[in-house]
Structure 1
Amino acid sequence: MVDPAALRDCQAWKDAGLPLSTPSNEACKLFDATLTQYVKWTNDKTLGGIEGCLSKLKAADPSFAMGHAISTGLVLIGTGSSVRLDKELDLAVKNMVEISNRQPLTQRERLHVSAVEAFARGDFPGACELWEQILRDHPTDMLALKFSHDAYFYLGQQEQMRDSVARIYPFWTPDLPLSSYVKGLYSFGLMETNFYDQAEKLAKEALSVNPADAWSVHTVAHVHEMRAEVKDGLDFMQRSEAHWKGSDMLACHNYWHWALYLIEKGEYEAALTIYDDHILPSLQTSGTMLDVVDSCSMLYRLQMEGVSVGDRWQAVLPVTRKHSRDHVLLFNDAHFLMASLGARDAQTTQELLATLQDVSESPGENCQHLLARDVGLPLCRALVEAENGNPDRVVELLLPIRYRVVQIGGSNAQRDVFNQLLIHAALRCGAGAHRNLARSLLMERDALRPNSPLTARLMRKAASVHLLQ
């Protein structure tokens, strides 16, 4: 919960070296309230939540350029809307730019507006460079730090995500608002680049300051996942649940991590219980992209394990179907496709593939559309071939791009669904070379995650296939 008395007014922002171009103290405080909730991954009901704060912020000063930047930026960073299709969002971006052009803003504020505009065009690398320019001169600008962190994540640029925080980390002294959350941001980048011990240490430092820091909980969950420390992971999630379950924007994802441990153990019914009790309800309430991909990824993983998910895809499809033409993130597209395939909706599947092909042929400066031809489309076609029972074709499509899939974004744990797809396809192939591929991939997986029960099950399956042929 945010203390309203601690929210910063015009003078406080100026004293922090981050002046905001508005005469309204109320607008400044609401900007702070919105930013704080974004960083904490929660809608604080006492403040009216993020949407409530943004509504009051616009009323307090309709010409507040940074108010428009954070409002429009949050919609864009959520990746659930495209300026190509969402005319209201497109107008909001243009309005932000027009308002900023009419005012004598600081250079920092102008860079923020330009970065949000670049992100809207799909130029995520350009947006990151602008946010980095801000951070070089203003290392305690949390909005620039958080927006760039999320954008690097979408780009699959793990080292940049880590190093962006490393460069500003010494400036975040404990007296600064939200300083402990910077530890969480840094720990996640360290974890994604395999510095597991350092990542876990930093995340637990953040949790010692604030046990409700759901993002730092999330880092620790990832560390246990990547090390296949199933018991430790389950114990940690159970012990910490009371602290993070109220973080409405991230709780579903933390439950997803909990379910991954159960799938790893082969406790499928327990995993489905988490899906039914937490993940699906969150998806149906929020419709956010994170909840969408969690739902799709979990059901798809269970299906690969041979588990019947019943009619659960039918409940996911209404949410995913309306995004089939968005093509904001290839990572999202692949998960939308899982849903249309799982629900046997051939029309939506075809619409997604056809429109993705279209944007790949005229990508402009949109980084995702530029990547669609060589990575996004082969990945999506592999999912279709898997559904159609063509494992040899799945391998032919996935194997050449397996080291490029990182470019579609997401975390190592999230993209592991595609590694598993390749292994399962190789196990089902008719060609001897592909059977040997399955064995090689499993040896690689075992080296990265020793003592993984899931890997052990797949190895037994590989041995069985080999003995039978």
Structure 2
Amino acid sequence: ESASRARLCLFVVQAWQDAGLVLSTSSNEACKLFDAVLTQYATWTNNESLGGIEECLSKLKAADPNFTMGHVLANGLELIGTGRSVRLDRELGSAVTAMVALSKAQPLTERERLHVSALDVFARGQLPKACELWEQILQSHPTDLLALKFSHDTYFYLGYQRQMRDSVARVYPFWTPDVPLSSYVKGYYSFGLVETNLYDRAEKVAHEALAINQTDAWSVHTIAHVNEMKAEVEKGLKFMKETEKNWKSSDMLACHNYWHWALYYIEKGEYEAALTIYDKHIAPVCLASGSILDIVDNCSMLYRLHLEGVKLGDRWNDLLGVTKKHTKDHILLFNDVHYLMSFLGAKDHKTTEELLTTLQELARAPHEDHQLSLAPHLGLPLCQAFVEFENGNCDKAVDLLYPIRYELVQVGGSDAQRDVFSLLLIHAALNSKSETKRNLARCLLHERDLLRPKSPMTERLIRKAAAVHSMA
């Protein structure tokens, strides 16, 4: 039975109390809508039978305008979507201020107060502190799905891979089969296992989750990562084809799963097949959704094809329409560097310059913002390396990237997503004028070859390195 049908008995006031997760409202309708939004967020799906997240959120506000946890849910989804921040967005700033004021004017549970505090510090850019507060909630309320999912996503943005895994491990025994959505928690755990290189266990746990619910797009995504990290291309392609019908309606994650599918084709050097997926399932979705994950996937996909020497036509310019409005966001460095790829691809020098100068300005006085505090020694050199490479200064790109390669995990994202930075370093070293740097390229390729045995892309690059070496 699909998750949506299994979950249509949404929790009312009493059910939340019985679950040990008291919600301070007398409105059963507000409680049911809170559950409906949380369910859709946890399962990566705007579920039509529940009305979709946006519609449920507006009904939730109407059902009880003073329901603090309703405000926590709405503001948290805005902030964790990383497309808006209180620094840029007065409306969101007012919403967070109103939530904090509301929480002070009401008798709330300790758990609810911690939720408000966590979002308050998150809004100021103190992401690690927000995670500490969510962990505090989880120690006494291990089945608080909102705290679990908010912390999981935030650890991901921080590049805190072990924390992402262990946060779920600590509460895992409490998610017994009778707890709603428990199989999805297996999916979250499996992803933490992938990101800490425990591939076999990750795959096993993801398959356990899929055996309970085959529409779990996040567990599919874990298996896509396992196949990507091991360069098991044929296995990856087969799995995506066989499961597509189960996950393609998970609209918040489908584009990302198609991105993984296309990566296998790039790995094989089958660029037309990759572009077909891009044109059909990635570009149109991104233009329609404006979701940051979809935008990042778009930029990353085109940039990988660009590194492979593929002609991309007008695709960069089409993407510019979506990325340009985020030039001055600087919410996550990971997002910034992906927007930058699109500006460079479209040869938009003015916007490139604007992104770099506004980031430099903010980085001078990061205040409490964790991401901005990383900009001087990580974010800016990373961005600059892309610019130098595009300007043909390969030596300079290597000099910027090589010293920080092991720290780049701190800009967040997954190992698979950050691989584009490793590829940039390899391509820059391969195309360098210096023999020392070309030797470095060969060393980096040996390293890659042992990590991902039989990778067709690595084999292509090793042949290229040998050709460059014989010409020198």
**Fold in common (TM above 0.5):** yes
Distance in 2 between the 1:265 and 1:346 partners? 32
Q: 1:136-151, aligned counterparts within 5 Å?
A: 136-151=139-154
Q: Does 1:442 align with 2:445?
A: yes
Give yes or no for contact 1:427–1:438 (8 Å, CA) kept in 2.
yes
1:68-115 C-alpha deviation (Å, 9 max, x unpaired): 001000000000012111111111111111111100100000000000
> C-alpha displacement at 1:5, in angstroms?
4.3
Structure 2 counterpart SS, 1:2: helix
Q: Does 1:2 align with 2:7?
A: no
> C-alpha displacement at 1:451, in angstroms?
0.3
Unaligned 5+ residue runs, structure 2? none
Distance in 1 between the 2:285 and 2:13 partners? 37
Amino acid paired to 1:54? L
Q: Does 1:425 align with 2:428?
A: yes
Structure 2 counterpart SS, 1:204: helix
User: Which runs of at least 4 in structure 1 moved beyond 3 Å after TM superposition?
Assistant: none
Q: Does 1:409 align with 2:412?
A: yes
Q: 1:229-378, aligned counterparts within 5 Å?
A: 229-378=232-381
Give yes or no for contact 1:82–1:327 (8 Å, CA) kept in 2.
no
Amino acid paired to 1:92? A
Distance in 1 between the 2:408 and 2:293 partners? 18
Distance in 2 between the 1:343 and 1:306 partners? 15
1:416-441 C-alpha deviation (Å, 9 max, x unpaired): 00000000000011111101100110
Amino acid paired to 1:194? N
Q: Does 1:214 align with 2:237?
A: no
Amino acid paired to 1:2? S
Q: Does 1:400 align with 2:409?
A: no
Distance in 2 between the 1:461 and 1:341 partners? 25
Q: Does 1:223 align with 2:226?
A: yes
Structure 1 counterpart SS, 2:4: coil
Distance in 2 between the 1:5 and 1:50 partners? 15
Which segment is superposed worse, 4-13 or 404-413? Answer: 4-13
Unaligned 5+ residue runs, structure 1? none
Q: 1:119 aligns with which of 92, 99, 122?
A: 122
Distance in 1 between the 2:334 and 2:207 partners? 29
Amino acid paired to 1:46? S
Distance in 2 between the 1:466 and 1:171 partners? 57
Distance in 2 between the 1:251 and 1:114 partners? 32
**TM-score, normalising length: structure 1:** 0.99
User: 2:198 aligns to what?
Assistant: 195
**TM-score, normalising length: structure 2:** 0.99
1:210-238 C-alpha deviation (Å, 9 max, x unpaired): 00000000000000000000000000000
Give percent identity, aligned residues only: 68
Distance in 2 between the 1:241 and 1:255 partners? 9
Q: 1:84 aligns with which of 84, 87, 101?
A: 87
Give yes or no for contact 1:2–1:33 (8 Å, CA) kept in 2.
no
Amino acid paired to 2:341? M
1:381-412 C-alpha deviation (Å, 9 max, x unpaired): 00100110110000000001100110000000
> C-alpha displacement at 1:2, in angstroms?
2.6
Structure 1 counterpart SS, 2:367: coil
1:150-200 C-alpha deviation (Å, 9 max, x unpaired): 000000000000000000001100000000000000000000000000000
1:315-374 C-alpha deviation (Å, 9 max, x unpaired): 111111111111010000000000111111111111110110011001011000000000
1:240-273 C-alpha deviation (Å, 9 max, x unpaired): 0000000000000000000000000000000000
Amino acid paired to 1:178? L
Residues paired across the two proteins, number = 469
Distance in 2 between the 1:259 and 1:424 partners? 20
Structure 1 counterpart SS, 2:215: coil
Distance in 1 between the 2:150 and 2:8 partners? 26
> C-alpha displacement at 1:123, in angstroms?
0.4
